[in-house]
Structure 1
Amino acid sequence: MKHLAAVLVGTGALLAGGLVAAPSASAATSCLGSSCNGLNPGSTTCANDARTVAEGTGPVSAVELRYSPSCRAAWGRFKISAPSGSKIVIKNSQGKQYTTYGSGHFFSVMVNDKDVTAWACGTWKAQGSDNVDCTSSY
């Protein structure tokens, strides 16, 4: 019994002293790969480690492809301030595809990017004509 009490007291001292950290609840991944399909990256932990992995290749580079290594998911984002009625289509090489409508610097929902490739295309109107910008795949 003395040994158990000593272990508990010692562990408490280590935690209080910051030598042993308790796992953070936010460290857990919200989703992984295909379980991220259709989810809003802003409502998950996926946005925490996201990086831009591809940019639009059109005359106006308006769209970027974002990727989360921890979630293995991708989504599109408008770099420019898109007018109302603009859309981002995110798809992957498995044929999964989602369309998100919005305005401003908005982003799409996510698509699985685990062991497949994904890319994004943005469409918007400017000066009466339709504009399209697509990223390369990642």
Structure 2
Amino acid sequence: MRISTSLKRAALVGAVTVALATGVNGTANAAGYDGQDPISSGCAADAITAKSVALNADGIGQVGTLELRYSPSCRTAWARVYSRGSNLWANVVRQRDNQRSGCDKASWDSGSGQYYCYTPMVNDAGYFSYAVGNATDSSGQIGSHAGYTPLY
């Protein structure tokens, strides 16, 4: 009985130690991802779209989509924008210190039949980040997210 109790205590202490170390390392590691590519770093593997909004142009409707992406394992955020036209840009901004990363070079995604770009990441561990951006359709009509109001 005494060995069983000791083993249980040791297991509990070990589990708590691992959890605390993971929490501390996760935050510290997140800072190291500032400015890195979410795909080549591996952070995009578990990414979710935290928020998505249509980019609308007056008179023609939606010309693109702006997304705020988040990786739970890396604790980072980045912006991604899609459009039918190749003139687009996006920024992700960490609100605490106004650290921002941007993209404005379009790549073609044959799967969706749209142009896209995504920003480098910012550390979002314990911080608040948002995305801004705009896009044009193939005729040059501009759609922006509410006059560049942050997408939270």
Q: Same fold (TM over 0.5)?
A: yes
The C-alpha deviation readout for 1:7-62, integer Å capped at 9, x for no partner, is xxxxxxxxxxxxxxxxxxxxxx8x83221111110111211111111112654361
Query: In angstroms, what is the RMSD of aligned CA positions?
Result: 2.3
Asked if the contact 1:66/1:77 (under 8 Å) is kept, the reply is yes
Q: Which residue of 2 aligns with 1:115?
A: 126
**Amino acid of the structure 2 residue aligned with 1:110:** M
Asked if the contact 2:51/2:151 (under 8 Å) is kept, the reply is yes
- The correspondence for 2:99, drawn from 89, 96, 101, is 96
- 1:54-65 aligned at under 5 Å gives the runs 54-56=51-53, 58-59=55-56, 60=62, 62-65=65-68
Q: Which residue of 1 aligns with 2:42?
A: 45
**Amino acid of the structure 2 residue aligned with 1:131:** G
TM-fit CA distance, 1:73: 0.2
**Does the residue aligned with 2:32 lie in a helix, a strand or coil?**
helix
Return the TM-score normalized by structure 1: 0.66
Q: Distance in 2 between matches of 1:109 and 1:118?
A: 13
TM-fit CA distance, 1:125: 2.9
TM-fit CA distance, 1:97: 0.8
- The correspondence for 2:89, drawn from 87, 90, 94, is 87
Name the count of aligned residue pairs: 107
TM-fit CA distance, 1:86: 1.7
Q: Which residue of 2 aligns with 1:136?
A: 151
1:71 and 2:74 correspond: yes
Where structure 2 has 5 or more consecutive residues not aligned to the other structure, the ranges are: 1-25, 57-61, 107-114
**Does the residue aligned with 1:41 lie in a helix, a strand or coil?**
coil
Identical-residue share of aligned pairs (%) = 25
**Amino acid of the structure 2 residue aligned with 1:125:** T
**Does the residue aligned with 2:102 lie in a helix, a strand or coil?**
strand
- Which is further off, 54-63 or 101-110? 54-63
Where structure 1 has 5 or more consecutive residues not aligned to the other structure, the ranges are: 1-28
Q: Which residue of 1 aligns with 2:31?
A: 34
TM-fit CA distance, 1:130: 3.2
Asked if the contact 2:35/2:101 (under 8 Å) is kept, the reply is yes
